[in-house]
């Protein structure tokens, strides 16, 4: 039985190394630097072996997206169920490495229909998860959903994180650090308000 499992384990390990190498190339040199040759060189294998596991570069990009999206969806679900949902959400959204990878995948998707479709589907599902959670959470934070509806709050958090991290990575002088600090303070105040409202509710009960 052990002999029968070895090829599968070796295959999964080789796929993981190829995906890891692809991510590193994208983060260092951009998605356009990804090719069977560049990935093969990073892994230390022949280019034909990259095509054995991923017949096209599109399939390689989609695999990178699905692997990273799977992790991010799990982390988002955990964040929204955590003791401080907005803080956990903001920290995840503003993670430099994750956002930088998303920027590259979005750029690649502009030229690759298969990848664009995958990105669109994942973005839709994650946003639905966020909106469902915000439907309950906004009241806990004392936020009027009529003035600040869930779609606006979700877009503001994700959009700000995307913008400031992208500007930081590019070295643009856009006061990104100040924006992040201000958002950190805002989230802190909101979490404190939510805790206070919860404590008052518990005492009232």
pLDDT digits (tens, 9 = 90+) for 111-133: 999 999 999 999 999 999 999 99
- In this prediction, residues 42-61 reach a mean pLDDT of 95
For 6-10, 27-31, 149-153, 164-168, which range has the lowest pLDDT when averaged over its residues? 6-10
Residue 102: the pLDDT is 87
Tokens of 45: 């294998």
* Residue in this structure with the two tokens 């093969």, named with its chain if needed: 40
Please name the helix (run of DSSP H) or strand (run of DSSP E) that holds residue 116, with its range, or none: helix 113-140
Model confidence band, residue 2 (pLDDT cutoffs 50, 70, 90): very low
Which residues are within 8 A (CB) of 73 and not within 5 positions of it... i.e. 6 or more apart? 122, 125, 126, 129
Q: For the chain, what percent of residues have pLDDT higher than 70?
A: 96
pTM of the complete model: 0.84
Three-state DSSP at 112 gives coil
Model confidence band, residue 171 (pLDDT cutoffs 50, 70, 90): confident
pLDDT higher than threshold 60 for residue 41: yes
Buried b (16+ CB within 10 A) or exposed e, 5-34: eeeeeeeeebeebbbebbbebbbeeebeeb
Q: Give Cα 11 distance to the centre of its chain.
A: 26
Angle of the 176-204 helix axis to the 85-93 helix axis, nearest 10: 160
Please name the helix (run of DSSP H) or strand (run of DSSP E) that holds residue 193, with its range, or none: helix 176-204
Tokens of 55: 């017949």
Angle 135-141-145 (CA atoms, 0-180°, nearest 5)? Answer: 45
With contact defined as beta carbons under 8 Å apart, do 61 and 108 qualify? yes
d(CA 187, CA 156): 13
pLDDT higher than threshold 70 for residue 89: yes
Tokens of 46: 């022949």
Model confidence band, residue 205 (pLDDT cutoffs 50, 70, 90): low
């Amino acid at each position: 039985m052990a002999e029968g499992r070895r090829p599968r384990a070796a295959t999964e390990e080789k796929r993981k190394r190829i995906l890891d190498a692809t991510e590193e190339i994208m983060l260092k040199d951009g998605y356009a630097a990804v090719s069977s040759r560049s990935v093969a060189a990073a892994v230390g294998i022949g280019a034909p072996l990259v095509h054995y596991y991923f017949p096209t570069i599109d399939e390689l990009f989609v695999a990178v997206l699905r692997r990273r999206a799977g992790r991010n969806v799990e982390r988002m679900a955990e964040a929204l169920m955590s003791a401080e949902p907005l803080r956990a959400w903001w920290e995840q959204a503003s993670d430099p490495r994750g956002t930088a990878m998303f920027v590259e995948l979005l750029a690649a998707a502009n030229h690759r229909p298969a990848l664009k479709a995958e990105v669109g589907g994942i973005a839709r599902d994650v946003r639905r998860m966020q909106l469902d959670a915000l439907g309950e959470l906004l009241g806990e934070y004392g936020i009027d959903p009529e003035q600040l509806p869930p779609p606006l709050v979700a877009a503001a958090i994700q959009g700000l994180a995307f913008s400031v991290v992208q500007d930081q990575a590019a070295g643009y002088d856009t006061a990104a650090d100040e924006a992040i600090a201000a958002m950190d303070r805002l989230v802190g105040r909101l979490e404190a308000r939510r805790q206070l409202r919860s404590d008052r509710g518990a005492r009232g009960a």
